Amino acid sequence: MFFCMTKRALLFLLGLLIAVNIIGCKEKPAETITTVSESNSHEPAYGDALIVGSIGEPSNLIYMLASDSASHDIAGLMFNGLVKYHTDLSVIGDLAESWDISSDGLVITFRLRKGVKWADGVPFTADDVKFGFDTIVNEKTPTAYKEDFLQVKKAEVVDKHTFRATYEKPFAPALTSWSGIVVLPKHLLEGKDITKSEFGRNPVGLGPYKLKRWTSGQELILDSYKEYFEGRPYIDRYVYRLIPDLATMFLELKAGSIDMMGLTPIQYTKQTNTDFFKNNFQKFRYPVFAYTYMGFNLKHPFFQDKRVRQAIAYAIDKSEIIDVVLFGLGSPATGPYVPNTWPYNPNVKKYEYNPEKAKELLNEAGWEDTDADGLLDKDGIPFRFTIFTNMGNTLRKNAATIIQWRLAKVGIKVEIRALEWSTFINEFIDKKRFEAVILGWSIGLDPDQYDIWHSSKTKQKEFNFISYGNPEVDELLEKGRRTFNIEERKKAYFRIQEILAEELPYLFLYVPDATPVVSARFKGIKPAPIGITYNLPKWYAPQKMQKHKVEQ
Amino acid sequence: MTGYLIKRLFEMIPTLAGITLISFFIIHLAPGKPTDILTELNPKITPEARERLEKMYNLDKPVIVQYGLWLKRIVKLDFGESFSTDRRPVMQKIWDQKQSLLDRRLFITLMINLITFAIILAISIPIGVSSATHQNSLYDKLMTTTVFIGFAMPSFWFALLLMMFFGVYLGWLPISGLKSLNYDALPLLGKIWDRVSHLILPVFISAFGGLAGDSRFMRSSMLEVIRQDYVTVARAKGLPEKKVIYKHALRNALLPLITLIGLSVPGMIGGSVILESIFGIPGMGQLFFMSVMTRDYPMVMCILTIGGFLTLIGNLLADIGYMLADPRIRAKQ
Amino acid sequence: MKEHSLNDVFWRRFRKNRLAAAGGVVVVLMFFVAVFAPLISPYKPDDIDRKHVLEAPSVRHPLGTDDLGRDVLSRMILGSRISLSVGFVSVGIATLIGIFLGAISGYYGRWVDSIIMRFIDIMLTIPTFFLILAVIAFIDPNIWSSSAIPGWIRESLKIILIDPNIMNIMIVIGLTSWMGVARLVRAEVLSLKEREFVLAARALGTGDMNIIFRHIMINSMAPVFVSAVLGIAGAVLVESALSFLGIGVQPPAPSWGNILTLGKDNIEIAWWLSVFPGLAILITVLSYNLVGEGLRDALDPRLWDMEI
């Protein structure tokens, strides 16, 4: 995701992240960079093209309608939110110049920037914000991102450059939710069915880049938008090249035909330490705001017993998964927050690798190998289940393979099934036709995770697809989002983590590091807790180093 | 001759119907209804809306009726809309009129296959003939092994080796894709070379893999012809060996190859899935794989039908070629 | 006896073809490796070892280790079983279907023949790799170990050493590759059915099925056998192509195809992951082809006069 903006871009996506998708974020960036060339010793200059490799093709460039990272990468270049995160994780204005929050926190009044124009020359106004808002909350709009906006009781256009949102109840993530991309050009879309509109393939935005050409299966070419309200981007052209095979993509990188991609852990640790690489590329490494987990379908009879879930946790060695799958480029996850952020609770129950304990717990829960076939059984049913994950993500497949091997040692037979993303979500997750899944959540900077853990969010298409329900958690979630007091929120979220660590509806696996690589000719990259691409319009290639001549 | 052609054209119809029937059956193998994917995209879809959709795809009717209705639409080349989030008409995705001919998926796949095909024939016929005339010689054995290695080498692996060597190490050829970034700025000749250079590796890989079939067939066909009476007679008459082989024998040995060519079309179209995936070529094979994995049923149906249709055309052309080449059939007409 | 001498001629001709004979040795060797896989592999093929990830070949691991630290030699050995069983079973299925349809088509003729021949034409027209992809993508690969399948089938799969994960692949390759056999058998049946021994059997009141399968088939097995040998090579390649696309044999089961795919992804840092499975596929497919060709030549009476 581009500017790390969707507050709770609840995408399970990390999957596709291997492509480029730099979900930046978090602590001590300066130390985590391995190779940073003596950046800013060159004068910024306009020109050149940045060619980014991606395995996936965008499906729809209307941000709210898409749920794949490729679409969000591109839509993020063409649209902005009202606010965004600063490098120090504070909230600053984007399309909004400033804002007021009423003393009870219920009313936010945004004053929008003046002089911002859509790429077709029409001025951007509060009507566009209202139109986008109306679209996202419209029940006919198929989007996964409406929940935050449904909290808004009233949205109104005060004047051309003032927009006001009024909430029914205090809603802690209210301000940051407007970092999501909602604005849409009213003058182009009013009265049209946006799901059918050509706009999704050929949108008009107001962000730093505008679409020049989209050749299906080959590439998307974006040219810089010279009237961009924060100033013309230095790099004239952004090319999103589609290369479905990762090994091929890496060869293209080495041959210099692409400038930027996300490296796999193996590529990062083993294939990019040559002099050739150090001279021609800059590598980055930073933890992402995301974690990977194995979720249990709690409706399934095997997993209703807490002891079984705990036993599985004891039977698996997380550090082994991080060592082997991530080559150490990540840290163990203990709950739904990432280390070194304020809601993260470091003191929760941890499950050290202990297969004996795992067997004990399983026996206690009634699972024993009565027929001596090496497989545990209970009431004549053998302990056998399938872990589903999305296709094309070697990391998850490998994690699943390690789990499969470890569980076999305690007498549980695991099958692995990798499915294409949309099939996986539509046919298996949404219909709850699964036993266990390995997926990842990309989490926002606000700790509100109502959608994932609240017992009311278990319907089809909602995010609590494992059917978790705990009245105490429900209450704490409600409490956490209804107060602006950070200490109180912290208390609520700390407690939630304790409960989740005890009950283990998910087996939290790891927090991966993002490892993007960019051609050395691009300067001005300033890694920050929110990643590297947040200031892409300020990247540049010094005059002498420019490689591509761009005629727009 | 015209009469024969018309008869052949009519014979294609039931075959084509059969192909669509099998495709239709495959789609119905998948669990759930084909519209599930579509309706699931929208959590708020009402039961009425779902029903309407099902009506639209005639899912409320018996399968055979559905098939009939679907057939009726495709006769008008209306394959419906893709189920993927872009919702574009299926035909538009395969044959996008907004893009230049050279960038349309169907064209890309066809072009690569035709070029490959021509190269295979150009190489395998001489190999086959010379192997036959030098039967069991060292040359014959060497050729046998070479063409079989081409067949036996997993193409995706070989492709990557060549990409590393020619693309990264030597830097002579582009690694993947169809054209370079600066394509638009190139002069005409540059454009042509750019396209050609992108095709060299994929076509080479595909042709190398396909040599075995045709050259071995040619070899055995030639061996058989050489032993026929008329060849012996020609030799006995004292005609030079070269003339015997290339004038009399080759002509007759080529005839069965023409039929084989017609039959090899589906294999080549199928093989384009792998080739296009590894080289990042946006052709029909790549699209088919994507559609299958995302269960984009209208797309899958459409490509299966087109694939079958192309084979039929290939067979028809082979028949015509056979007729033109074989004086006996010509005489019969 | 006449048959005896025919056999002699056949073997002499086959052995004389050095390439085919060499291929035959490889085929037999591979077969034994596959059957005795667990006995000869030095490690358990699924054992993950975090301390030895992606190690180059050494004394401990003669063919190196893969990205999870598993021993490549052991995985190659077990992989031979999986890759070859894909070949054997799918060809077995194709051959059975082909023989059955070809035989009844040739024997009964008329409308039976025209329906079956039309069906064959259709199947030959569809790009079968497309069909294979569609079926494999749509159907759950784990179905063969689920309770949807009767227990005795699951048990017998275990006995004949077949990983239930690959059943779908085998079946669908089998279902899409029988047409050649059917045509061959039909042609043979057509030429044999008017011969004396068939007419005699019919006169004695032997049933149709009995005549087809007891009398005619035995006499037309040779070309079918050749095409089966060639078919095994093709199926091994199809499996590796499916693995490349990520829908082949599922983990943790190793096949040459999925080890090679792993090798492709790590080609620059772990040559052993692509060279060994690549060679295994190459040599095996080559051998099966050479054997098939050798058999065809050896069995073809039209070529006999030249050498005897």
Measured CA distances, A115 to A80, A124, A186 (Å): 15, 8, 17
Check if the beta carbon of residue A421 is closer than 8 Å to that of residue A288.
no
Cα(A103)–Cα(A107) distance, rounded to whole angstroms?
Answer: 8
Cα(B278)–Cα(B175) distance, rounded to whole angstroms?
Answer: 10
Residues of A in contact with C68 (CB under 8 A): 324, 398, 401-402
Burial pattern B111-122, b for ≥16 Cβ within 10 A else e, equals bbbebbbebbbe
* Chain A residue at shortest CA distance from C164: A415
Q: Tell me what the mean pLDDT of segment C113-137 comes to.
A: 89
CA A265 to chain centre: 18
Cα(C62)–Cα(C76) distance, rounded to whole angstroms?
Answer: 11
Cα(A339)–Cα(B188) distance, rounded to whole angstroms?
Answer: 57
Measured CA distances, A170 to A107, A110, A448, A540 (Å): 9, 17, 13, 43
Which alpha helices (H) appear in A139-245, and where do they start and end?
Answer: 147-150, 174-177, 186-189
Residues of C in contact with A420 (CB under 8 A): 137
Give residue B60's pLDDT: 65
Residues of C in contact with A401 (CB under 8 A): 48, 68, 251-252
Burial pattern A478-497, b for ≥16 Cβ within 10 A else e, equals ebbbbbeeeeebbebbbbbb
User: What dihedral do alpha carbons A325, A331, A335, A338 form, nearest 10°?
Assistant: -120
Q: How does DSSP classify residue C60? A: S
Contact state of B157 with C264 under an 8 Å Cβ cutoff:
yes
Contact state of C46 with A400 under an 8 Å Cβ cutoff:
no
Mind telling me how many Å the CA of A257 is from chain C's nearest CA? 18
Residue B294: which of A51, A60, A423 has the nearest Cβ? A423
Residues of C in contact with B308 (CB under 8 A): 122, 125-127
**Residue whose C-alpha is closest to residue A81's, from A140, A136, A31, A27:** A136
Give residue C303's pLDDT: 53
- Counting as contact any 3 or more CB pairs under 8 A, the partners of A are B, C
Residues of B in contact with A139 (CB under 8 A): 44
Contact state of C268 with B164 under an 8 Å Cβ cutoff:
yes
CA A25 to chain centre: 11
Say whether residue A323 is in contact with chain C using an 8 A CB cutoff: yes
Kind plus residue range of the DSSP H or E element containing A517: strand A516-519
pLDDT tens string C139-168 = 877 777 766 677 777 777 776 667 777 888
Check if the beta carbon of residue A246 is closer than 8 Å to that of residue A18.
yes
Residue B175: which of A140, A244, A251 has the nearest Cβ? A251
Residues of A in contact with B86 (CB under 8 A): 59-60, 200-201
* Chain B residue at shortest CA distance from C235: B152
Mind telling me how many Å the CA of A517 is from chain B's nearest CA? 18
Contact state of C68 with A397 under an 8 Å Cβ cutoff:
no
Contact state of C46 with A324 under an 8 Å Cβ cutoff:
no
Phi, psi of A455 (to 5 degrees): -70, -10
Q: How many CB pairs under 8 A join A and C?
A: 58
Mutate to test the interface with B, among C14, C115, C130, C232 (most CBs of B within 10 A): C130
Cα(A249)–Cα(A256) distance, rounded to whole angstroms?
Answer: 11
Contact state of B86 with A59 under an 8 Å Cβ cutoff:
yes
Residues of A in contact with B88 (CB under 8 A): 201
Contact state of B18 with C19 under an 8 Å Cβ cutoff:
no
Give residue B58's pLDDT: 63
Mind telling me how many Å the CA of B173 is from chain A's nearest CA? 10
Contact state of C134 with B304 under an 8 Å Cβ cutoff:
yes
Instruction: Give the residue carrying structure tokens 């504070």.
Output: A90
Mind telling me how many Å the CA of A273 is from chain B's nearest CA? 17
**Residue whose C-alpha is closest to residue A239's, from A50, A368, A434, A417:** A50
Contact state of A320 with C50 under an 8 Å Cβ cutoff:
yes
pLDDT range class, residue B248, cuts 50, 70, 90:
confident
Cα(B209)–Cα(B216) distance, rounded to whole angstroms?
Answer: 13
Give residue C135's pLDDT: 86
User: C6 Cβ partners below 8 Å, 6+ apart?
Assistant: none
pLDDT tens string A72-117 = 889 999 999 999 999 888 899 999 999 999 999 999 999 999 999 9
**Torsion C242-C243-C248-C249 (CA) sign:** positive
Q: Tell me what the mean pLDDT of segment B173-181 comes to.
A: 88
Cα(A199)–Cα(A192) distance, rounded to whole angstroms?
Answer: 10
Please identify every stretch of chain A with a pLDDT value under 50, giving residue numbers as ranges: 1-40
The predicted model scores a pTM of 0.87
Q: How many CA atoms lie within 13 A of B32 on its CB side?
A: 19
Interface of B with C in 152-171 (CB under 8 A): 152-157, 160-161, 164
Structure tokens at C176: 């899409």
**Residue whose C-alpha is closest to residue B129's, from B249, B19, B21, B302:** B249
Cα(B292)–Cα(A175) distance, rounded to whole angstroms?
Answer: 42
Say whether residue C36 is in contact with chain B using an 8 A CB cutoff: no
Give residue A280's pLDDT: 94
Looking at this predicted complex, what is its ipTM? 0.85
pLDDT tens string C190-245 = 887 777 777 787 778 777 777 777 777 776 778 888 889 989 999 999 999 999 89
Q: Tell me what the mean pLDDT of segment B256-264 comes to.
A: 81
Helix, strand, coil percentages for chain A (3-state, nearest 5):
30, 20, 45
Q: Are strands A49-54 and A237-242 parallel, antiparallel or unpaired?
A: parallel
Check if the beta carbon of residue B109 is closer than 8 Å to that of residue B272.
yes
Q: How many CA atoms lie within 13 A of A359 on its CB side?
A: 13
Say whether residue C124 is in contact with chain B using an 8 A CB cutoff: yes
Check if the beta carbon of residue A524 is closer than 8 Å to that of residue A535.
yes
Residues of B in contact with C125 (CB under 8 A): 15, 19, 266, 308, 311-312, 315
Average pLDDT, chain B: 82
Partners of A528 in the beta sheet? A531
**Residue whose C-alpha is closest to residue A316's, from A436, A399, A395, A418:** A399
Mutate to test the interface with B, among C122, C267, C307 (most CBs of B within 10 A): C122
Residues of C in contact with A398 (CB under 8 A): 67-68
Residues of B in contact with A201 (CB under 8 A): 86, 88
Contact state of A384 with C145 under an 8 Å Cβ cutoff:
yes
Give residue A10's pLDDT: 36
Q: Collapsing DSSP states into helix, strand and coil, what is residue C17? A: coil
Average pLDDT, chain C: 85
Check if the beta carbon of residue A512 is closer than 8 Å to that of residue A25.
no
Measured CA distances, C32 to A384, C20, C25, C235, C278 (Å): 32, 19, 11, 19, 20
